[in-house]
Amino acid sequence: MDGYWRNSLLLAGLLWPLTIHAAEFGGRVVGISDGDTLTVQTDDNRRVRVRLAGIDAPEHDQPYGAAATRSLSALALDRAVRVRVVAEDDYGRTVGTVFADGRDLDAEQVRRGMAWVYRRYARSRSLYALEAEAKQARRGLWADSNPIPPWDWRHGGKTSKPSPSPSPSPSSRCGTKRTCGEMASCEEARFYLDHCGVKRLDRDKDGVPCEALCR
């Protein structure tokens, strides 16, 4: 998820590749790699891997990595999209802003608490306001007491000792509970969704279980 921007020039304080020019294309999303990367089958029948430009989602082995992937899948998989290209990264992925059903996927993932604003590359100031709102509401990854940004996780942050989270109470360990009505708290609902695989708690597939408890 790192390795951004090659063959770059200094523009407005950011590094942008010389090989990429302003462009836009349409297509349909045929694959989701993680919470900020997807594959688009273009209108001219090419497959293009696209990294969302202004955000950084949790890694697969990081808390909320799976939830962020599910959230992006619910937003974009099998949907028609428009991609505004801004760069190409070191992995050969197109980096761009992606719109599905008129929604900016960068903004929606941040609003849901499923990604951080990528400080080094984000150009939209509105993303920071959405992140602050999600943090205030303890939405998504912000429900954790000490969420580690992916750029720190990738570079050894996961081996450092974050503030310990309390051990789940006996009632929040995987048991027989299967419905939102049986959940005592948002924390318990998240535990059952993320660790016990009770997907029915997230009926609209936005990564947030039991909205009555968690919103």
**Which residues are the active-site residues?**
51, 59, 93
Question: Across-strand partners of 10?
Answer: 15
- Residue 182 DSSP label: G
Whether the Cβ atoms of residue 111 and residue 55 lie closer than 8 Å to each other: no
Rg (CA), the chain: 18
Residue with tokens 């082995």: 61
Residue 140 · residue 214 · CB < 8 Å: no
Cβ contacts of 95-102, under 8 Å, gap ≥ 24: 95/4, 95/5, 95/50, 95/51, 95/52, 95/53, 96/50, 96/51, 96/52, 96/53, 97/52, 97/53, 97/54, 98/38, 98/40, 98/50, 98/52, 100/29, 100/75, 100/76
- Contact assessment for residue 5 and residue 15, using Cβ atoms and an 8 Å cutoff: yes
Decide if 34 contacts 56 (C-beta within 8 A). no
